[in-house]
Amino acid sequence: MKDFDKIIWRDALTFVDFFASWCGPCQMMHPVIDRFRVEMNGRADVYAIDIDDRDMLEIIRRYNIRSVPTLIFFRRGEVLWRHSGAIGYEHLKSVLEELERLERVG
């Protein structure tokens, strides 16, 4: 994830899952995010960042990640949507659809 800034500054919608391996709700989100990645088929780039990865500390501080999972959609470096806690697939899909409509993406 050394290129985190390059990734979030692109024109594409980028979804980032900040998680921890010891976090139960994060484990519950893995199948949801995997399904989202597959079924949305490139409509948003999907990344996962382990908050226990020391190389990610600066990014975790920058975005004030205090609880996991924290889910963030970015575009052109801007945080478009942020949520802490587990959510369902349909909710995540509806957020993407709303962002596509608002951002005129897709």
Which residues participate in catalysis according to the annotation?
A: 23, 26
Written as one letter, the residue type at 23 is: C
